[in-house]
Every structure is written in structure tokens, then in C-alpha cells.
Amino acid sequence: MDKIVVLDFGSQYSHLICRRIREFSVYAELVPYNITYEELQKHNPKGIIFSGGPSSVYNQDAPIPESKIFDMNLPLLGICYGHQLIVDKFGGKVKRANKEYGSSLLTIDDNEKLLSGIGESIRAWMSHGDEAESIPNRFKIIGHTESAKAAAIASEDKAIFGIQFHPEVVHTEYGTKILENFVLNVCNAKQDWTMEGFIDSTVEKISKIEGNVLCGVSGGIDSTVAALLIHRAIGDRLKCVFVNNGLLRLDEEREIETMFKDNFKVNFTTIDASQKFLEKLSGIDDPEKKRMIVGEEFIHVFSQFAKENGPFKWLAQGTLYPDVIESGVSKGPASVIKSHHNVGGLPDWLELDILEPLRELYKDEVRKIAKILGVPERLFMRHPFPGPGLAVRIIGEITPNKLSIAKIASKIVEDELIEADWYKKVWQAYASVGEDKAVGVVGDERKYGNIVMVRIVDSIDAMTADWTRLPHELLEKISNRITNEIEEVTWVTYAISSKPPATIEPQ
């Protein structure tokens, strides 16, 4: 299939470029900026995009791609820092400027090719502290703002473009149209990235592997879809194991067992390891340590099961593309946001090879596959649940009291959203509890109790998210139920931080 390769220079928006391109059925992949020319050639891209980034091209340690990549005779689009790289490489000059962050009016000077079909002006999202003071010879300005005279440029001889703004974010009007112009009209990429095609190619690849596969399933859509794809490919050579780690949603262990036995014809086993997990986590308050402990204990359990019920050659997991990016294993310049137990937490002593059939996909793409595979809607529309479970929704040390509060309060949040017909409208909803306490009044007595934080967000792929503007009456009902039904809770707060700068989960 045709592919667009995005070189990652460390922008918080880099992944969104891929995400937007995939929306019009063209495969896009994020790679490190320092990928070699030879390795990039192996990707056989139809076009290349340079992402934004926090660096300045004139700094000594600025990230610079191999020089030959500029001369691959492929369409090239530079965004923000990528735009400045193009200006600098081809003989223009980049200078320090007043930092511009937010929406600006972009006036279109040339509405052919890249900026075709978007009108005379649009609101464009800026996030930069440098700008082009002069553009290279044989380049022309195709768009400007009040503060950036060369906000969009194009080569007069080649299919090379630079834009100072970010078309990948929703704040830029017609941003997806600009990317579509580049990918479809400039690169002439075929729209052959479909989930039906992904299913066929993935099943074909997996069918060729040797040995039995052990798949850890959590009841979430990711591991469920991974299991169903593998089962379609190798049948009874797959064994699914659900591990109860004691950190699940209220009564979830029974729901998951019923779901698999009633809906899917796969080999399925449940292991209750809750006591082991909670013992390992006792006294631990550091979030990264909790994630790593949960990840390693999962592997211990799977490894022991494999030895007793094997032989198994593979351990399958529902790792997604955002997991890979956030865990830093994509080897780009972006810092590690958090370790995911199914990516960053794998120990060196693991004796099973890893099979991750979904690691190229975003969450909404997985849901499309689930629908194609016939997964009931009530299952694939469940809200995402973190691999380490409530370990990352309990701030500080995990105690029986906080664990009970998190389970019951989260169930109240979900039940009320379902009752108010809001559950399917939001991406994720839960209640978190930490170390903080506050004074409340119960009856005629003062009481010192726990604070519960309710977190509800809207998102598409979990890489960015915005807090949900719920009706005040619904928030009031959630709060009243939590304080009335959970004796230890005196206060309920609502988190109104978006991602970025926050993350969706508190830890």
C-alpha cells in the first residue's frame, strides 16, 4: 500500500499528522528524525513530512535529518520546525522572533496545490518562536499572517512545501484539507489503507508463524480484537488467559469471563492473582514503579502459566500505536510520557516472543475492526481501561480503603452517564482517589474523609483529550451519589485539565 512517512522532530502534535492522514484512508507512519537514508528508502514512501519540534535550526545541537533525504525527489512538506529546516537547507534564513502561540489569520497568496480549495483566508494554529526572515531562491510565498510574512512557501521547481502553522490540530481551519491536498494531489497516494485490508494482511502474516500463542486478555477492546485476529489466523493454537490482578473495575472479573464464554469460541482461562499483585504493590507510591511492578507481575503470571500448560512460543498483547509512542520505544526525540505495562514494562528474562498485531493502530481503528469482526457494540464501545488498572487511578499507596472507593465511585460515574445517555458521547470516565482529605459534615457531625476526583474526557485516539462539559445537574447527581453511598468520601472534585498539558490518567 502507499505510505506517507512523517519524521518526528519532537512536536507534541507529531502523531496527529499520521492520525489525520489515516482519516482519508492513506497509511502514515511516524519515524525518528535521524532515520538513515537507506532505512527510509525501505519504507518506499509516496511523500515525506517533517514534523514540528521545540528546537531552533540555528542551534548547534538542532536535530537535522540526513542531507540525502532532502534530495530523494519525493514530495516534501515541512510543518513549523520542519518548515524552518526547509528554509535553512535550501539557502534561506531563519531568525528568532516573538513567540507566537495560538490562532492567527492566514491569508492565502496562492491557492494552487497545497492550499487549494480553502478560500482566501483561514484561522491557523501557531506554536513557534522562530520564523523565516528570507526564503530560498526558487521558492515563493503562498500564505502569510500579520506577524509571519512567509507562513507558507512552495518551491517553484519541486514538490516541496513549508508551512509555519500546524494543519494537524483541530484549531486550524481546513487543516485536514491541506494535508489531503498534499497527500492525494501532490503525492498522488492511493487511498488503500482500510481496516478490511488490515484484517486480511494481518491474518495472513500471523497464519505463517510457528508455535502456540498465549494471549493476555483484559476484557478491553484492544486485547479482545488482538485475540480474535490471532484466533482467525491460527485457531486452537491460541490460548487466552485473563488475569485478575485485583485492580479491576467493580465486578469486572465476572463480566469478562461471561463475555468471552458467551460471545467468542476461543480457549479461555481465568487466573486469580489479585493477592500477588496487591502484595507486590504494598507500600509503593511512585506511579512509574507501580506501572513497572504491574507489568512485570503480569509477565511472571503468564510465564508460569506457559511453563505449566505449554509449550508456547508467543505472548500476544493488545499494544496500540499511542502506547508505543508514549512509552518512548519508537526511538523518536519525544520524552517518555509514561510506561505502558504492555510495552515499557517487559523484562529481559521473558522467554516468550512478543506478538502485537495492533501496534500500528489507533483506538478508533481498533473499534472499526471490532465491528467488522462482529464484536457486540456494548463491548467495543466500552470506555478504555488502563493496563495497570486502578493502580494508576489510586494516587499514592494502594490501600484496601482507596481501592474500594475507586471501584464504587467509578461505577457510580459510569452508571449515571449511562442513565443520562452520556456514556457513548464521551471517551473515558472514571473516579480517582488519592492521599488528600477534607472536612465534611455528615448529619450534625464534622467528618474528615477522602476526596474523590471525577475525570471525564473527550478524545479520538487518546493522544490528545479535552475535559467534557457535562450538564451541571448530572455532575451534581454524580457528586451526591458518591458522597451519600461511600461513607469515607466527603468531597468530590471534577478535573478540567486537557491533554496536553495533563494526561488522561492521573498517574
Name the maximum alpha-carbon separation found in the chain: 80
| 356 has catalytic annotation | no
DSSP 246: S
C-alpha dihedral (36, 42, 43, 45), degrees to nearest 10:
90
Q: How far apart are CA 230 and CA 283, in angstroms?
A: 38
C-alpha dihedral (163, 164, 170, 171), degrees to nearest 10:
-130
Angle 118-123-125 (CA atoms, 0-180°, nearest 5)? Answer: 115
Question: CA–CA distance from 498 to each of 334, 392, 428, 475 (Å)?
Answer: 19, 18, 13, 18
Q: How far apart are CA 268 and CA 260, in angstroms?
A: 7
The H or E element spanning position 214 is: strand 213-216
Catalytic residue, candidates 166, 231, 340, 383 = 166
C-alpha dihedral (210, 211, 214, 219), degrees to nearest 10:
40
DSSP 425: G
Burial class of 101 by CB neighbour count within 10 A (0 to 12, 13 to 18, 19+) = exposed
| Helix, coil or strand: residue 346 | coil
What phi and psi values does residue 307 have, to the nearest 5 degrees? Answer: -65, -35
Among 119, 126, 83, residue whose Cα is nearest residue 104: 126
| 80 has catalytic annotation | yes
Cβ atoms within 10 Å, residue 102: 9
Look at the block and give the residue holding cell 518548515: 83
Q: How far apart are CA 206 and CA 473, in angstroms?
A: 50
Q: Are 215 and 234 in contact (CB under 8 A)?
A: no
Beta-carbon contacts of 121 under 8 Å, excluding residues fewer than 6 positions away, are: 105, 106, 107, 108
Q: How far apart are CA 82 and CA 48, in angstroms?
A: 11
Q: How far apart are CA 208 and CA 313, in angstroms?
A: 13
Cβ atoms within 10 Å, residue 41: 13
Catalytic residue, candidates 80, 187, 215, 240 = 80
Catalytic residue, candidates 100, 131, 168, 297 = 168
| 419 has catalytic annotation | no
Catalytic residue list: 80, 166, 168
